Amino acid sequence: MKTTIFIILILLFFHNGYAQNPGDISRFNKELTQVTQDTSKVRVLINLSLSYRFSNFDSSALFAQKALALSRSIDFKSGEMNALDRLGNIAIQLGDIPKGLNYSLQALRIAEDNNLLNDAALILNTLGICYRGLENYPEAIKYFRKQIIVSEGSNEAGVAYGYSALANVYQKKGQLDSATFNANKAKQLFQEIDVIEPSLNSTFGRIEFDKGNYQSALKFFNNSLQESEAIKDFNRKSSTLTDMAKVYQTLNKRDSSILYAKEGLKAAEQMGISNNIYKAAKFLSLLYEDKDNEKALAYLKMATAINDSIFSRKNILATADIANAEQERLREIEAAKLSYQNKLKQYGFLAGLGFLTIVAFLLYRNNRRKHNDNIKLQSQKEKIESTLGKLKSTQAQLIQSEKMASLGELTAGIAHEIQNPLNFVNNFSEVSAELVEEVEEERAKSREARDETLVSEILGDIKQNLEKINHHGKRADAIVKGMLEHSRTGSGEKELTDINSLASEYLNLAYQSFKSKNKDVEISLITELDPTIPKIELVRPDIGKVLLNILNNAFYACTSTSISTDTSKFDVRNSKFDIPLNHPTIGITTKNLGDSIQISISDNGPGIPSSIKSKIFQPFFTTKPTGQGTGLGLSLSYDIVKSHGGELKVETKEGEGSEFIIQLPKQVLI
């Protein structure tokens, strides 16, 4: 059985996470001789493997193999999964990508088959690193994003490392804005959980290098180097030293460049990290190309040997076979799901056919009875007509009762909404009156006995009370104005209006209003306006008010709560926009539907719970905190759209955002 302590230890030993205290190796070895339960032994063996991950790959692999063997002998799936992930990570760093990919995919299958995906962030990170090394960036991004999704809410370190890895991939792709966004997100999360991560400083350094900010890049690389040396992370140290050598080469400091490149090669050779050896040797070959042909050739041979080892035809074919086998497995799973669904449909069809047969039989028998009862029914005709008259009368009474109930609901809502600010006004007025009496009493004293400090404090309290009275007075005024707007049946003359121009105008108006109150909040806007839409006849200010109400709600939704990770409704992959994950986004689109025009406003906020979806167009219903909304905006918008012969509806899914859809009929066309 998994324990909380084991999960915490796994998080602390994430691939490039905290430094392992040298004393921990001795402690874990001692624990290994003391624990009696096999599952506890597996956990200690994995911790020992993690302890050697920076200093000795052989020892790290040895303990991972022992953990794997013991886990399989006792059928401990969680331990088997983590042991396979450790072996996969080691193999990848040593340049054996097929073996690393094979181990990691085995670990992922165990996680999927045993419902352990919440603990699979390490595996997904390893798979992302593997595909990143193969320069298959789409697959790498897929696994890093999945790592973030499975880690959210339970594994803050997993989320932070996911963003850090995404930043590294985007930097390699040359998408520096996306790289910077994800790197800053990772930095914020690492600070919150108090983790020092050398690879993040390296990523910032590469971003600055790509931008041409060489001194800034060196500063980040120096920070990464110091952090790597502190935790004896030779992998990160060797990579960072080679990066620094490239900066010095760009600055025409050849001697410094050679020095750092050699140090990078030395650190890589110390741990046998094939990929880093290849990069350092190849760079040294270039540095000596025009100065020392013998050394250039020696380093080139070293790089070529490593490259042939990692990217040999055998390895490439093996990697392709493993990847193809995984794709085939996923296709088989999908086919099995489809087959199961088809069987369910067949069973449903047969059940429906049987049900229809029974219904047909019952209808036949019932028709025969009805035929025999026709004479009786004829004699009861007058009674039925009398009953029908009574039903019509009752129906009219029910309609009137419903109208009265609606009126009572509205009246209760008005009383409740206005009573709150009035209570505040009354209470603060009474308190202010008492404070004025205290001031008068103090003023009545002699100058020597009078406490001017107390008088000033009381006057300050009175000023604050008056500000609160003014605030709640304006609140009541806003409610009354909203009620008056809600009660209006018409507002001006209709005019021919360009819908695209109207949508753009009010999107800009809402955005400017939002930015004036939230200067530090960054939000993305997406517009897709159909150029084939003709002008239509409508009351421009009223439809503008509808757009403004919905847009204001959208801005509030996607900036005051958690942001959805699903940006598929904005179709960002197939458009010119590159919206980073979890970025507040508002979209407005228009479509020509033939006999009508559609305006859609989307946001990637938290969505609307199904329990309140049916209430959002009711007067005075609001999900905003007290004092921030009257609950009349959407109700008023609904009435305005209806008065134009149109329809206002909402499509939403909790946790994935909302989309408000306005459909207006074409009335007068140009």
Cα 146 to Cα 149: distance, rounded to the nearest angstrom: 5
Backbone angles phi, psi at 10, to 5 degrees: -60, -40
Encode 322-355: b = buried (16+ Cβ within 10 Å), e = exposed.
bbeebeeeeeeeeeeeeeeeeeeeeeeeeeeeee
Residues 6+ apart with CB under 8 A from 398: none
Place of tokens 């002699």: 446
Instruction: Give the distance, in angstroms, between the CA of residue 110 and the centroid of all CA atoms in the same chain.
Output: 26
Q: Copy the structure tokens of residue 611.
A: 């329990």
- Max alpha carbon distance in the chain (Å)? 119
- Cα 157 to Cα 78, 289, 614: the distances in Å are 19, 44, 39
> Which pLDDT does position 653 carry in this prediction?
84
Count of C-beta atoms within a 10 Å radius of residue 650: 16
What local confidence, expressed as pLDDT, does residue 407 receive? 42
- Domains of the chain, by residue range, sit at 1-119, 320-375, 383-487, 495-665
| Pairing mode of beta strands 536-538, 495-497 | antiparallel
pLDDT reported for residue 399: 44
Please tell me the distance from the alpha carbon of residue 51 to that of residue 32, in angstroms, as a whole number: 14
**Buried-exposed string 593-626: b where 16+ CB fall within 10 A, e elsewhere:** eeeebbbbbbbbbbbbeeeeeeebbbbbbbbeee
DSSP state letters, 140-176? HHHHHHHHHHHHTTT-HHHHHHHHHHHHHHHHHHT-H
Short-list 314, 264, 244, CA closest to 99: 314
Q: Could you read off the pLDDT of 467-486 as tens digits, one per residue?
A: 888 888 877 776 666 555 54
CATH superfamily, with its number, for domain 1-119: Tetratricopeptide repeat domain (1.25.40.10)
So what's the pLDDT on residue 394? 62
Q: Which residues does the chain have with pLDDT short of 50? A: 1-22, 313, 398-410, 412-413, 486-487, 489-490, 572-579, 581, 668-670
Q: How far apart are CA 586 and CA 602, in angstroms?
A: 6
Residue with the two structure tokens 């072996």: 87
Strands 585-592 and 524-528: parallel
pLDDT score of 665? 92
Task: Enter the CATH code of domain 495-665.
Answer: 3.30.565.10
Mean pLDDT of the chain: 77
- Write down the pLDDT at residue 229: 82
Sheet with 596-603, strands from edge to edge, namely 524-528, 585-592, 596-603, 658-665, 647-652
